[in-house]
Structure 1
Amino acid sequence: MSNISLLWVDDEIDLLKPHIIFLEKKGYQVTTCQSGTEALEEIETKNFDIIFLDENMPGLTGLETLTEIKAVKDFIPVVMITKSEEEYIMEEAIGSKIADYLIKPVNPNQILLSLKKNLDNTRLITNKTTSNYQQEFRKIAMDLTAVDSYADWSELYKKLIYWELQLEDVENTGMLEILEQQKTEANNEFFKFIENNYQNWFSQENEAPILSHTAFKRFVLPEITKEQPTLLVVIDNLRYDQFKVFEDVIQTYYKSKKEHTYYSILPTATQYARNAFFAGLMPSEMEKLYPDYWLNDTDEGGKNQFENEFLAAQLKRLGKDINYEYHKITSLQKGKKLAESFRSQKSLDLSVVVYNFVDMLSHAKTEMQVIKELAGDDKSYRSLSLSWFKNSALLDIIQQAKQMNFKLILTTDHGTINVNTPTKVIGDKNTSLNLRYKTGKSLTYNERDVFAVKDPKKIHLPSINMSSSYIFAKGDYFLAYPNNYNYYANYYKNSFQHGGISLEEMIIPLAVYTPK
Structure 2
Amino acid sequence: MTYKILWADDEIDLLKPYILFLESKGYEVFTVNSGADALELVETQKFDILFLDENMPGMSGLEVLLQIKKFRPNLPVIMITKSEEEELMEDAIGSKIADYLIKPLNPNQLLLSVKRIFDKKRLEEGKTNISYQQEFLALSMQYQDHLNAKEWSDIYKKLIYWELEIDTTENKSMAEVLNNQKNEANAHFSKFIEKNYEDWLQKPDTETPVLSHLMLRKHVFPKINDKSPLYFILIDNLRFDQWKTLDKYIQEYFRLESENNYYSILPTTTAYARNAIFAGMMPSEIAKNYPDKWVYDVGDSEDEEGFNKQEEFYLQEQLKRLKINAKSSYHKIIHQYQGKQLVDNFNKLATNDLNVIVYNFVDMLSHARTDMAMIKELAPDESAYRSLTASWFQHSPLFDLLKKIAEKKGRVIITTDHGMIRVQNPIKIVGDRNTNTNLRYKQGKNLNWDNANKMMVCRKPENIFLPKPNVSTTYVFAKEDNLFAYPNNYNQYVNHYRNTFQHGGISLEECIIPVIYYTGK
Which of these residues, 337, 343, 350, is aligned with residue 347 of structure 2? Answer: 343
- Cα distance in 1 for residues equivalent to 2:467 and 2:515: 27
**SS in structure 2 opposite 1:295?**
coil
**SS in structure 2 opposite 1:80?**
strand
Given that residues 418 and 497 in structure 1 are in contact (C-alpha distance below 8 angstroms), is that contact kept between their aligned partners in structure 2? yes
**SS in structure 1 opposite 2:345?**
helix
1:107 aligns with 2:90: no
Q: Which moved further from structure 2: 206-215 or 124-133? A: 124-133
What does 1:149-160 align with in structure 2 at a 5 Å threshold? 149-160=148-159
Residue 249 of structure 1 is matched in structure 2 by 249
**SS in structure 2 opposite 1:388?**
helix
Residue 223 of structure 1 is matched in structure 2 by 223
- Cα distance in 2 for residues equivalent to 1:361 and 1:45: 44
Given that residues 298 and 443 in structure 2 are in contact (C-alpha distance below 8 angstroms), is that contact kept between their aligned partners in structure 1? no
1:210 aligns with 2:214: no
Residue 370 of structure 2 is matched in structure 1 by 366
Residue 312 of structure 1 is matched in structure 2 by 316
Q: State the percentage of identical aligned residues.
A: 53
**SS in structure 1 opposite 2:262?**
strand
Q: Which moved further from structure 2: 255-264 or 370-379? A: 370-379
Amino acid at match of 1:296: Y
**SS in structure 1 opposite 2:466?**
coil
C-alpha displacement of 1:484? 2.5
1:197–1:16 CA distance, 2 compared to 1 (3 A): same
C-alpha displacement of 1:14? 4.4
- Cα distance in 2 for residues equivalent to 1:408 and 1:11: 55
C-alpha displacement of 1:72? 4.0
- Cα distance in 2 for residues equivalent to 1:86 and 1:279: 61
- Cα distance in 1 for residues equivalent to 2:65 and 2:173: 40
Residue 467 of structure 2 is matched in structure 1 by 462
Residue 183 of structure 1 is matched in structure 2 by 182
1:450 aligns with 2:455: yes
Given that residues 422 and 499 in structure 2 are in contact (C-alpha distance below 8 angstroms), is that contact kept between their aligned partners in structure 1? yes
1:46–1:174 CA distance, 2 compared to 1 (3 A): closer
- Cα distance in 2 for residues equivalent to 1:393 and 1:42: 45
Q: What does the per-residue CA deviation read over 1:406-435, in whole Å, with 9 as the maximum and x for residues that have no partner?
A: 112111000011111111122222222211
Residue 507 of structure 1 is matched in structure 2 by 512
- Cα distance in 1 for residues equivalent to 2:15 and 2:327: 68
**SS in structure 1 opposite 2:398?**
helix
C-alpha displacement of 1:512? 0.6
- Cα distance in 2 for residues equivalent to 1:82 and 1:318: 67
Q: What does the per-residue CA deviation read over 1:454-495, in whole Å, with 9 as the maximum and x for residues that have no partner?
A: 111111111111221211111111112223322222222111
C-alpha displacement of 1:506? 0.2
5+ residue gaps in structure 2? none
C-alpha displacement of 1:350? 1.9
Residue 273 of structure 1 is matched in structure 2 by 273
Residue 488 of structure 1 is matched in structure 2 by 493
Q: Which moved further from structure 2: 210-219 or 375-384? A: 375-384
Q: Which moved further from structure 2: 63-72 or 234-243? A: 63-72
C-alpha displacement of 1:44? 4.4
Aligned residue-pair number: 515
1:322 aligns with 2:314: no
- Cα distance in 2 for residues equivalent to 1:310 and 1:214: 13
- Cα distance in 1 for residues equivalent to 2:122 and 2:173: 15
**SS in structure 2 opposite 1:241?**
helix
- Cα distance in 1 for residues equivalent to 2:356 and 2:513: 18
**SS in structure 1 opposite 2:144?**
helix
Residue 391 of structure 1 is matched in structure 2 by 395
C-alpha displacement of 1:147? 5.1
C-alpha displacement of 1:264? 0.2
1:262 aligns with 2:266: no
- Cα distance in 1 for residues equivalent to 2:282 and 2:466: 7
Residue 235 of structure 1 is matched in structure 2 by 235
Given that residues 147 and 153 in structure 1 are in contact (C-alpha distance below 8 angstroms), is that contact kept between their aligned partners in structure 2? no
Q: CA RMSD in A?
A: 1.9
**SS in structure 1 opposite 2:433?**
coil
Residue 192 of structure 1 is matched in structure 2 by 191
TM-score where L is the length of structure 1: 0.95
C-alpha displacement of 1:265? 0.3
Q: What does the per-residue CA deviation read over 1:191-225, in whole Å, with 9 as the maximum and x for residues that have no partner?
A: 10001110000122223101111111111122222
C-alpha displacement of 1:303? 0.8
Residue 335 of structure 2 is matched in structure 1 by 331
**SS in structure 1 opposite 2:174?**
helix
C-alpha displacement of 1:348? 1.6
Residue 292 of structure 2 is matched in structure 1 by 292
Q: What does the per-residue CA deviation read over 1:350-371, in whole Å, with 9 as the maximum and x for residues that have no partner?
A: 2211011111111111111111
C-alpha displacement of 1:51? 1.2
1:105–1:510 CA distance, 2 compared to 1 (3 A): farther
- Cα distance in 2 for residues equivalent to 1:425 and 1:40: 66
- Cα distance in 1 for residues equivalent to 2:197 and 2:258: 26
Amino acid at match of 2:497: Y
